Amino acid sequence: MRVSVIGCGHLGASHAAAMAELGHEVIGVEIDPDKCATLNTGKSWFYEAGLNELLAKHVPAGRLRFTTDPAEAAAFTDLHFIATGTPLREDGRGYDATQVIGAVETLVPLIDRPATIVGKSTVTVGTVATLQKIIADKARVPSIELVWNPEFLREGHAVQDSLFPDRILVGLTSDTARKAIEEVFAPILGRGDIDMVVTDPQTAEVAKAAANSYLAAKISYINAVAEVCDLTGANVDDVAYAMGIDKRIGHAGMRPGLGYGGGCLPKDVAAFAYAAGEMGAAGAAGLLDAVQAVNRGRQHAAVNLITHALGGNTRGRTIAFLGAAFKAGTSDVRDSPALHLAERLHQLGATVRLFDPEALDNARRTHPHLAFADNTLDATTDADVVVIATEWPEFTTDPKLPAAASERAKTRTVVDVRNALEAAPWLAAGWTVHQMGRPSRNPDA
Ligand SMILES: NC(=O)c1ccc[n+]([C@@H]2O[C@H](COP(=O)([O-])OP(=O)(O)OC[C@H]3O[C@@H](n4cnc5c(N)ncnc54)[C@H](O)[C@@H]3O)[C@@H](O)[C@H]2O)c1
Q: Where are the domains of the chain?
A: 2-199, 208-294, 300-441
Report how far Cα 219 is from the mean position of its chain's Cα atoms: 14
Report which protein residue has its CA nearest ligand 1's atom 12. 85
Query: What CATH number should be reported for the domain whose range is 300-441?
Result: 3.40.50.720
Assigned architecture for domain 208-294: Orthogonal Bundle (1.10)
**Residues 443 and 431 sit within 8 Å (Cβ to Cβ):** yes
| pLDDT tens digits, 168-191 | 999 999 999 999 999 999 999 999
198 band by pLDDT with thresholds 50, 70 and 90: very high
Residue 445 pLDDT > 90: no
Distance CA 148, CA 126 (A): 11
DSSP β-bridge partners for residue 148 = 119, 171
pLDDT of amino acid 126:
94
Among 46, 99, 128, 205, the mutation site with the greatest number of ligand 1 atoms within 8 A of its Cβ is: 99
CA of residue 27 to ligand 1 center, whole Å? 16
Distance CA 406, CA 400 (A): 10
Choose among 93, 210, 191, 190: nearest CA to 150. 210
In 10 A of CB 195, how many CB atoms?
Answer: 10
pLDDT, the chain, mean: 97
2-199 and 300-441, same CATH topology: yes
Of all residues in the chain, the percent with pLDDT exceeding 90 is 99
Among 38, 84, 168, the mutation site with the greatest number of ligand 1 atoms within 8 A of its Cβ is: 84
pLDDT of amino acid 122:
97
DSSP state at residue 89: P
275 band by pLDDT with thresholds 50, 70 and 90: very high
Report which protein residue has its CA nearest ligand 1's atom 9. 121
pLDDT average, residue stretch 131-144: 96
DSSP state at residue 63: S
For residue 261, with 0-12 CB atoms within 10 Å meaning exposed, 13-18 middle and 19 or more buried, which class applies?
buried
| Selected catalytic residue, list 8, 36, 229, 264 | 264
Of all residues in the chain, the percent with pLDDT exceeding 70 is 100
Distance CA 264, CA 335 (A): 9
Q: What are phi and psi of 70, to 5 degrees?
A: -65, -20
Residue 229 annotated as catalytic: no
Assigned architecture for domain 2-199: 3-Layer(aba) Sandwich (3.40)
User: Containing H/E element for 3?
Assistant: strand 2-6
Cβ neighbours for 174, distance < 8 A, ≥ 6 positions apart: 145
pLDDT average, residue stretch 13-34: 98
Distance CA 97, CA 258 (A): 29
**Residues 57 and 18 sit within 8 Å (Cβ to Cβ):** no
Q: Is 440 helix (H, G, I), strand (E, B) or coil?
A: strand
Distance CA 81, CA 84 (A): 9
Among 11, 88, 260, the mutation site with the greatest number of ligand 1 atoms within 8 A of its Cβ is: 11
- Spell out the alpha helix ranges (H) of 28-97: 33-40, 51-58, 70-76
SS3 content of the chain, % helix, strand, coil (to 5): 45, 15, 40
Choose among 336, 349, 367, 355: nearest CA to 155. 336
CA of residue 295 to ligand 1 center, whole Å? 24
**Residues 415 and 309 sit within 8 Å (Cβ to Cβ):** yes
Name all residues whose Cβ lies below 6 A of ligand 1.
6-12, 29-32, 35, 83-86, 99, 102-103, 106, 121-122, 151, 153, 155, 158, 263-264
Residue 9 pLDDT > 60: yes
User: Containing H/E element for 318?
Assistant: strand 318-322
| pLDDT tens digits, 369-419 | 999 999 999 999 999 999 999 999 999 999 999 999 999 999 999 999 999
In 10 A of CB 178, how many CB atoms?
Answer: 17
Residue 444 pLDDT > 80: no
DSSP β-bridge partners for residue 276 = none
Please name the amino acid found at residue 34: D
| pLDDT tens digits, 67-116 | 999 999 999 999 999 999 999 999 999 999 999 999 999 999 999 999 99
| pLDDT tens digits, 317-370 | 999 999 999 999 999 999 999 999 999 999 999 999 999 999 999 999 999 999
